[in-house]
Structure 1
Amino acid sequence: MRTVTFAMNISLDGYCDHTIGNPDEELLDYFTETMDDVDLLFFGRVMYQLMFPYWADVAKNQSGTADEIRFAERFSAIDKVVVSRTLENVEDNARIIRGNPAGELRKLKQQPGKKISVDSVSLLPELVSSGLIDEFHLVVHPVMVGKGRRLLDAGSLQEKFNLKLVDTVVFKSGCVALHYLKQ
């Protein structure tokens, strides 16, 4: 059975917003390395639209720093599933599913392959409650934003979900990467 990971950048006060920081060389290297064992990305519509076509264009045009290009090439090469009721089409090696994200992820988890990385705050409560997320990679940025989308809204989980911290990385920028496994 495949392992399902969840990866997200968050502010110190628990908000998930792609504008909270600029990934430096260390962070790009960290996220590139976390994708070494991943062969499927599982997105919600919003995260997919934040990441594409930006990173695909960086990979195709070789625009950006060497670290950005390496991340973009790795990211773009991985197959993607996008959960959306409204998207008409997706790029290259991506496909759309229209409903039942937990059921679809459960089927994908049973198939042979490497890890599946979930990148969707909106799907997180359903996938956690369904017992589908096996590990978490959270990068906490040294900033408080006080607004935006929270990692989890109050009452979004029906029961407590225990995790075990297995690794911590402190970056020069003050960001801290926390790696947790489901207990």
Structure 2
Amino acid sequence: MRTVRFGINISLDGYCDHTSFNPDEAVLNYFTSMMNDVDLLFFGRNMHQLMFPYWRDVARDQSGSAAENLFAERISAIDSVVVSRSLESVEGNARIVRNDPAGELLKLKQQAGKTILLDSVSLLPEMISAGLIDEFNLVIHPGIVGSGRPLLPAGSLHEKLNLKLVETINFKSGCMALHYVKG
């Protein structure tokens, strides 16, 4: 059975608004290396629209720093599933799932393949409740942003989820990567 990994940037006060962060080279390299064993991205509509086409354009034009270009190439090369009821279409190596995202992720998890990377705050409570996430990779940024989307809305989980910390990485920028597995 495939591993499902959740990965996201988050502020000290628990918000996941990617527009509030400016990851440095080391953080980008961390996320790039985290995708080395990933062969499928599972995104919600908002995250897909935030990440693409931006990173595909960077990959195509090689318009970023060396770390940005490498991240862009890697993320653009991985097949994607986008959960959306409103998107008409997606480009490239992506496809849309309109209903039952937990059922779709379970089906994909049971297929042969490498790790699946889930990056969607809106889908997180449903996927945790369904028991589908095996690993959590949080990169904590040293800032308090005061607004945005919280990692988990209050009351969104029915049961406590115990995790085991297996790795901590401190970056010179003050960011900290925390890698957890189910406890």
Same fold (TM over 0.5): yes
Which residue number corresponds to residue 11 of structure 2?
11
Given that residues 5 and 115 in structure 1 are in contact (C-alpha distance below 8 angstroms), is that contact kept between their aligned partners in structure 2?
Answer: yes
Give the aligned CA root-mean-square deviation in angstroms.
Answer: 0.5
1:35 corresponds to 2:35: yes
Which residue number corresponds to residue 126 of structure 1?
126
Instruction: Provide the secondary structure at the position in 2 that maps to 1:168.
Output: strand
Partner Cα separation in structure 1 for residue 45 and residue 19 of structure 2: 18
Partner Cα separation in structure 2 for residue 107 and residue 179 of structure 1: 25
Which residue number corresponds to residue 85 of structure 2?
85
Cα displacement string for residues 89-140 of structure 1 (whole angstroms, at most 9, x for unaligned residues): 1110000010100000000000000000000000000000000000000000
Paired residue type of 1:30:
Y
Gaps of 5+ in 2: none
Q: Shift in Å at residue 78 of structure 1?
A: 0.3
TM-score (norm 1): 0.99
Paired residue type of 2:160:
K
Within-5 A mapping of 1:104-115: 104-115=104-115
Which residue number corresponds to residue 46 of structure 1?
46
Partner Cα separation in structure 1 for residue 110 and residue 9 of structure 2: 27
Instruction: Provide the secondary structure at the position in 2 that maps to 1:28.
Output: helix
Moved over 3 A (4+): none
Which residue number corresponds to residue 146 of structure 1?
146
Q: Shift in Å at residue 20 of structure 1?
A: 2.1
Instruction: Provide the secondary structure at the position in 2 that maps to 1:148.
Output: coil
Paired residue type of 2:62:
Q
Q: Shift in Å at residue 65 of structure 1?
A: 0.8
Larger displacement relative to structure 2 (21-30 or 102-111) = 21-30
Given that residues 169 and 176 in structure 1 are in contact (C-alpha distance below 8 angstroms), is that contact kept between their aligned partners in structure 2?
Answer: yes
Cα displacement string for residues 47-84 of structure 1 (whole angstroms, at most 9, x for unaligned residues): 00000100000001111111111000000000000000
Paired residue type of 2:78:
I
Larger displacement relative to structure 2 (14-23 or 124-133) = 14-23
Instruction: Provide the secondary structure at the position in 2 that maps to 1:149.
Output: coil
Given that residues 20 and 141 in structure 1 are in contact (C-alpha distance below 8 angstroms), is that contact kept between their aligned partners in structure 2?
Answer: no
